[in-house]
A and B are shown apart, each in its own frame.
Chain A
Amino acid sequence: DGGITQSPKYLFRKEGQNVTLSCEQNLNHDAMYWYRQDPGQGLRLIYYSQIVNDFQKGDIAEGYSVSREKKESFPLTVTSAQKNPTAFYLCASRVGQGWYNEQFFGPGTRLTVL
């Protein structure tokens, strides 16, 4: 089936540790995005990538890092520098070339820092 997969579904981390969240898509979409959702809030953009080997900071990039070595993969690392990492993380990809085209989301990863 075509779609966006994220793993793991749940992740627990001790303070001071880095952790990497996986996002894979087989939709042949060029652009991919990472969002963060806090309880009772909408989504905020962390990083985005339009093409392989290129990515840009979103609104809340501090304490996060990404890579885009393959078109289908866009992993997110939550570093120990992120002050409040406990949140729900959603990956998305965009159909077509236009900035304004429809975005689709993966099922998300819930990260809890102990």
Chain B
Amino acid sequence: GIQVEQSPPDLILQEGANSTLRCNFSDSVNNLQWFHQNPWGQLINLFYIPSGTKQNGRLSATTVATERYSLLYISSSQTTDSGVYFCAVVGSGGSNYKLTFGKGTLLTVNP
């Protein structure tokens, strides 16, 4: 099935810094979602972005489907941005019924 790799696995920032999280996937996709998992475990939808660029406040995302990667940008980070960021995809091949998750990036924003 499709493979999803996220980098870096861990990231520590000072409040106010910018960051870029990367998601590589091994095959073409019909869906790509970015999630933020908060300390209570809730998965919060950030972006549904199988291709193109989207922005929502301090967050933006870009997916280059032809090159099989997506980037999540966090600008002017805040302590509330801390948590795990997951990339998940629905492949266009045999596993096209489910979201396949990467292992996530653990972001810590210090005051």
Q: Could you give, for residues 93-111 of chain B, a 1 whenever the CB lies within 8 Å of some chain A CB and a 0 otherwise?
A: 0001111011110000000
B98 / chain A contacts, CB cutoff of 8 Å: 33, 45, 48, 58-59
Among residues of A, the one whose C-beta sits closest to the C-beta of B103 is A42
Selected contact of A110 from candidates B35, B41, B90, B97, CB within 8 Å: B41
B30 within 8 A of A: yes
Q: Which of B36-91 contact A (CB under 8 A)?
A: 40-43, 45, 48, 50, 86, 88, 90
A45 / chain B contacts, CB cutoff of 8 Å: 98-99
B33 within 8 A of A: yes
Most buried by B among A90, A102, A107: A102
Q: How far is it, in angstroms, between the C-alpha of A22 and the C-alpha of B73 when the chains are bound?
A: 35
Among residues of A, the one whose C-beta sits closest to the C-beta of B32 is A100
What is the distance, in angstroms, from A85's C-beta to the closest C-beta of chain B?
Answer: 17
B31 / chain A contacts, CB cutoff of 8 Å: 99-102
Query: Could you tell me if A42 and B86 are in contact, using CB atoms closer than 8 angstroms?
Result: yes
B104 / chain A contacts, CB cutoff of 8 Å: 42
Query: Could you tell me if A99 and B90 are in contact, using CB atoms closer than 8 angstroms?
Result: yes
What is the distance, in angstroms, from A83's C-beta to the closest C-beta of chain B?
Answer: 22
Residues of B within 8 A of A (CB): 4, 30-31, 33, 35, 40-43, 45, 48, 50, 86, 88, 90, 96-99, 101-104
The 7 closest A-B pairs by CB, nearest first: A42-B101, A100-B30, A100-B31, A105-B43, A102-B48, A108-B41, A43-B101
Interchain residue pairs with CB less than 8 A apart (27): A37-B41, A42-B4, A42-B104, A43-B86, A43-B88, A43-B101, A45-B98, A48-B97, A48-B98, A56-B97, A58-B98, A59-B98, A88-B41, A99-B30, A99-B31, A100-B31, A100-B50, A101-B31, A102-B31, A102-B48, A103-B33, A104-B45, A105-B35, A105-B45, A107-B42, A108-B41, A110-B41
